[in-house]
Structure formats: structure tokens, C-alpha cells
Structure 1
């Protein structure tokens, strides 16, 4: 990798990358980096933040633990330490990510926010622009994932509310909301856990349930619910597995419809397979709902100065509002001239074939299947690039102006010498 200055326009650093450019240093970016490293393929990771796994380090609450057993959350070629518990904590997962990066000598370029990336059809390369640099490569791997930006619901009145409004990405602990009346918008895993955390800090949580939701116990009969599902799917059809899971859930946690948590008509595993929507794995919230410490409410119609009006006509006062409304992809904001992603920032090609596009474009972390999906796609991407690398007729060459590049040159005076 060599840099030079563009002499014809404002002085901006240009960097030619021998292997692929990977955008994002979260678990997805690290996983594909490790797989490339194992195959001796050079790469460059660009990360907008100042650390790896920035979502985990900066946007997660203190009590967070992995919802699945650690064996289902390992990245390729390096497992969790043996002394880690079955469900590692946030801080243990971060330490695993840091050790993972160190083990495979992954050294991202931090504070490099990608402003645009576009394929140059004339020269046959990707041009990736950050705030101060243009990177050029034959391959581009989009590893920013499904959770790049907080998703804010379209509910009117937030600007009128006198109290505090915070997205779950900024929530750390219920200690900040002690003795408050708090409205939690969202009933996914984050909404459930935030409500539980608030309850344990003597705040009264009112959790908004806007849609149907599958709630399953994290464990059934001493075994991981997810592990049971994966084992059953090896032998039985998906719909039958869903029936078994729901029967066992009714035995262990009861009928959630009575608590205001209506189940979808589609079973939990089928729903995840079709839409990517993950069932909620209960870690204690249901018991607090049953005893009335956490209130379940219907959808919010609008936010008022002192609280919220609900769809059923009720109006309540709140001290704070927490938006546990999830995240969204940010790919459409920077990937230009490409129709491989939808307007929502997800691959147009469904799983399991959404990892590869045209012109050397790859994606990892967009499967809707968590870290298992990430690991699977990372292996496929690395193998595909390795095959192309070995068959690539181009070599690293020097142009007369002293710029060195793999199948591309960095200024106009060099462009005539080599073409991809």
C-alpha cells in the first residue's frame, strides 16, 4: 500500500490497496479480515470510530450479556477463552474482539469515515473516499452491518417533551433514572432488558408494544432455547420445530398474550428465517411484568409536553422516554451507483446468497442471522477473493512517477500504463 498526492486538484492523499478494502471494524469486519489473513491476502480496514467493535464499546448498556451461548457467537478460527461463562458479558465480548484483532494482526485505520464509495467502470476499480483520503482497490467489502445507525420512530411531539429523550444506544444504566416514570418505546431484546434494568433501579417502566412479538425463555429445562432449536432443525421441519418451541414456552413461561405480548401467527424460527426478526429471549422481564412492576402499553399516538397519548385514548405523564427502537443500515448514504442494496440498506439478494455482488463487491453482516451468519459469509468471501487473487494476472508494478500499485495507478499521468 503506497500513498501519493493528487497534483491537479486540492492536495488529498491517495492510497492504492493491494487487497480488498473492508469498511467497518466491528465483528463482521474483523471476521472477514481474519479469514483473509489466514489465506495470506492483504487488506485494509477503514473504521469511522476510534476503536474496534464501536457499537459494543460505545452504544450498549452496562448489564448486556450475549443472549446466545458463546459457541454460537464465535468468529472464525478463534473461539472464546475456556474460562468465559456460557453467556459472556459485554466487557468479556469486547475483550474477545480485541484479542481476536491482535491474534490476526488486524490494524484498522481509525477515524476514517467513508463519505462515498463508487465503482469506476472505466478503470475497473473501487474508489472509496473518506474525509481526507481516496482509497483505491479491486475489491470492496461492506462490513458496516445492519446496526450502523440508531432508528428513530416517526412519532410526533418529541420536540415538545419537557423531559429527557434518549435512544437505547445512549442508555447505560437505570441508575440515571432512579424513581422516575419512564416510557420505553420498543419490546425487542433491548426494550425488554432496559425495562428490567430500570425496574431494578426503582424506576417504573411502561413498555410500549406496537406489534406482535415472540417471547421465549433463554433456557428451557436447563438447555439453551436456541441450542435446542438448532438441534431440532437437523432432524425436523421448521414448522414442526416452531410448534415444539411454542409448546415448551407455554409450559415454562405461560401464555404471553395475557400480558399484552401477542404472538405472531408465524412461528419464531420461521419468522426469523423469512424476515430476520429475532424472537425475544427472556432473562427476567416477564416475571416483573406479571407482578406489575413493568407496565405493558399499546402504541403511542403522540408525545406531549408532559408525557404521551396512546392509541387507546389514555394519556400518561413521564419523566423520561427511552427509544429501544433498534438500528438500521447506513449503506445507502455512502455506497453510490450500486443497486445491490435496497433503500433500507440491505442486500437485494436474499440469504444465503447476499454476500456477493458484481464488480468485486462483497457484504458481510447483513444476513439477519447474527454472528453465525457473519462467520459463514466471512469464510465464503475470503475463499472467493483468494481464488481470484491466485488467478489475477496483474502484479505489483512501478510506474515512471514512482507510484506503486496493484493493478491500478494513482494519478492521471500513470493511468495509461496499466489497465485492470
Structure 2
């Protein structure tokens, strides 16, 4: 049996960054990945997804993102990058090993996978992200709705929505990106949200916003634990999306009050026909395998402080939104969080 110093559950960007830092600190980690390659959820995102951070700010530790550093990489470029990154790691990567349950005997964690295999180590990092747990808000009247309700996690391209009336729910980058591209093929697209869309210039004063985030220290500021609720991320825009929304492609409306049959009912009492409601409402931590060790709250969220478990020595988390900073769940930020977490896991719970 291989003697592992740590188990990393999830082989996406967070898990790969964790493995890198564990290895550099002399530990022998194993990555347990549910999919057939260590690229996380990226192949399953919608076809046109484009990072809103330039390539030079979108790399994991010790491997720059290739190509023009000022470009904005597409989904498939990120997948290729993660494949290359995984090959640079001198660690065991067990693909097609979905972790179903985890046990803890007071000294070590044992992860049981769908293959029937079990892996044991004194440390475990949960890096499974949230793609497996899309946030599905309750929609009044949904039980009477005769159309389709789907989450953005199941959206791939606008072609299947040609000729439809679509409501996209959300106010973040994905909601606006998806709604704008749907507006080119669907009969009608409405972007509905409880709060207005907030735009941030992509390149103020001739520099990408992430340059300013970096030089001011805002991107890495460890302020996540100070937030009671995570704020809605603004939409980074070169002007394209604000122009589209101003032109009514898509239309923007406050959130509908209910669904009824094949219609949405709006706050002013009007009704509009709708074929599909597409929820770009984000994700929640996907950690069902930790339920048995009582590491989670009643709502399935991890009990932690800056990624370090407050319930179990040797347990940590990576890739949580606002785990430590505004970039904690982003490709550009997981390396910093991984370095911080691995430092603490290898020296105990001291600050």
C-alpha cells in the first residue's frame, strides 16, 4: 500500500495547485479525481466561456499560461493548460475515482471511492469545487410551469434555443455572457435579477482591471472571513455587454414574481410567454463525501476558517468562493490559497 502524506479530493485547478504545494513541502500526495482526466469541470462549461482575467494572471504555481499574456483564454485553452500542468506534477493521480465517503479515526482520513478502493492519509484536502452542486433557487409557481427550467451548468451553446423565449436569471459574468449570446438566436431574451447588473471597466486607464487588483494588493487581500455573505461579482466589460443590454439584446427586467403555465408574471402584473428559464445562479460547495465525519453545517457547507477545518485536524478546503480573498475560487487565486493552506496543514492549527 502506498504511504501517502495527504489525499486531495478533486483533480481540477484547486486540487492540482494543492498537490504542487504539498509536493514542494516534501509530502507525497495522491489526487482522487472523479473524471477521466485531471481537468476538473472545465470541459463541461459552455462552449464560448472566456476568462475575464488575462492569461498572465490566470496561471497556477510554477507554470505560466502559454501564448500572448494579454489575451483572454477560452474554455478549451484552460482545459489544455490543466492537462499540461498535471503532467508536471510528480504525484499519483487516480482518475475515475469518485470519492463517496470519508472516515476519520482521530489520526487519519480514509477516502472510499466508487471503484471499491480506499486511500488513507493523515491529511485530506477537499478541492471538489461546486460544479456538482448548482444553486437552484425556489421559483414561485415552478410546479405549474410548463416550460423548461435548467441551470447554466447544463448550458453549452445558443443553437438549441433558436426561436425560443428565454429568461436568464442572474446578474454576474456568466449570466450576462450567456444572455447576450442567446439574444442573437432566440426570439426574445430577458435578463432577470433581484439586483441590477453592475459593470466594471475591463481596462481602466489602459490596463486590465486585474493589473490594478494586483498592484493594489486587493486580489490577494485575506478579507474573505470578514464577509457574512459573498457579494455579487460585477461584470467585467469592454463596453460590449453594456451596449448590448442598452440596446435590449437582451432586455433587462427586475426578477419576475412567479411562473404560471407557460408564462412569467412580472412585478407590474404583466405576463410574458417563456419557453425556458435558465438559472445562472452560481454553485454551492459540493462535499457530500464529508457528511459522515460531521465536518459540515446542516446546509452542507464546510466549517472552516480560511480553508482550514475547524472540526478536524488535518482537514482543509480549497476553491471555495471568498475562502480567503476575492480570487479564491478563480484560476488566478487558488495557488495562493493552496500555499497558505498547505503551510498550515503541515504545521498544525497554529496561525
TM-score bracket for the superposition, by shorter chain length: 0.7 to 0.9
Q: Does 1:155 align with 2:110?
A: no
2-side partners of 1:222 and 1:75: how far apart? 25
Please give the alpha-carbon distance, in whole angstroms, between the structure 1 residues aligned to 2:187 and 2:236. Answer: 22
Compute the displacement of 1:309 (Å): 1.6
Instruction: Tell me the equivalent position of 1:378.
Output: 338
- CA apart distance, 1:17: 4.3
Q: 2:177 is matched with which residue?
A: 193
CA contact (8 A) 2:302 2:309 kept: no
* CA root-mean-square deviation: 2.8
Tell me: CA distance 1:384–1:187, structure 2 relative to 1, closer, same or farther (3 Å). closer
Find the counterpart in structure 1 of residue 313 from structure 2: 359
Larger radius of gyration: 1
Match of 2:29 in 1: 43
TM-score (norm 2): 0.85
Measured after TM superposition, the shift of residue 146 of structure 1 is 4.2
Instruction: Give ranges in structure 2 of 5+ residues lacking alignment.
Output: none
Pairing of 1:49-88 with structure 2 (within 5 A): 49-58=35-44, 60-83=45-68, 86-88=71-73
Change over 3 Å in CA distance of 1:207–1:318 after alignment to 2: same
Aligned residues of 2:56 and 2:70 also touching (Cα < 8 A): no
Equivalent residues of 2:102, 2:109 under 8 A apart: yes
CA distance in 2: counterparts of 1:346 and 1:32, whole angstroms: 20
Deviations 1:183-227 (A, max 9, x none): 111121111000111123354210111125532122223321232
The structure-2 alpha-carbon separation of the partners of 1:311 and 1:114, relative to structure 1 and needing over 3 Å to count, comes to: farther
Query: Where does residue 127 of structure 1 map in the other structure?
Result: 110
Change (3 A) 1:349 1:19: closer
Q: What SS class does the counterpart of residue 54 from structure 1 fall into?
A: coil
Give the TM-score of the pair, scaled to structure 1. 0.72
How many residues are treated as equivalent by the alignment? 335
Distance in 1 between the 2:289 and 2:194 partners?
Answer: 28
Greater Cα shift, 306-315 or 91-100: 306-315
- Partner-residue secondary structure (3-state), 1:129: strand
> Which residue, 285, 290, 297 being the options, matches 1:334?
290
Displacement after TM superposition at 1:387 (Å): 6.0
Structure 1 unmatched runs, 5+: 3-15, 239-268, 389-420
Provide the rounded CA distance (Å) in 2 between the counterparts of 1:273 and 1:199.
38
- Between the aligned partners of 1:273 and 1:171, the Cα distance in structure 2 is 33
User: Displacement of 1:175 after TM fit?
Assistant: 1.7
**Conserved? CA contact 1:217–1:281, under 8 Å:** yes
Which deviates more, 193-202 or 152-161?
152-161
* Aligned partner of 2:9 among 5, 19, 23: 23
Corresponding residue for residue 300 of structure 1: 256
Cα shift at 1:51 = 2.5
Q: Distance in 1 between matches of 2:186 and 2:163?
A: 5
2:276 is aligned with 1:320 = yes
The reply to whether residue 136 of structure 1 matches residue 117 of structure 2 is no
Q: Of the candidates 174, 189, 200, which is equivalent to residue 205 of structure 1?
A: 189
